[in-house]
Amino acid sequence: AATGFMLGVVDAATYELGATVALQPGDLLFCLTDGIPEARVGAEELFGMERVKRGVLQCAGRSARATLESVVQAVRSTSEQLD
């Protein structure tokens, strides 16, 4: 039985007790805080999870560091374009 606490709990999501995920060599588990999707990229716009997903998917096959740097740069450049 699991004894730890859940990370990334979202009210609208459903969770299966005892579910496991098997990562294979080359798989990427991208963990982030709400600061990335909630980054302001305009007066009333947030970066959003869809942009995060697109950014991660565009980095398929790249290293975890390269993926992280790409997503962070996307937040910065999107924010600068809208200033």
Task: State the pLDDT at residue 81.
Answer: 62
Indicate the residue type of 40. R
Residue found under tokens 């910065």: 76
Q: Which of 36, 62, 61 is nearest to 50 (CA)?
A: 36
pTM exceeds cut of 0.85: no
SS3 at position 10 = coil
Q: What is the pLDDT of residues 14-68, one digit of tens each?
A: 877 778 889 998 888 888 888 899 998 878 899 999 999 999 999 998 998 999 9
- Of 12, 32, 26, the C-alpha closest to 59 is 26
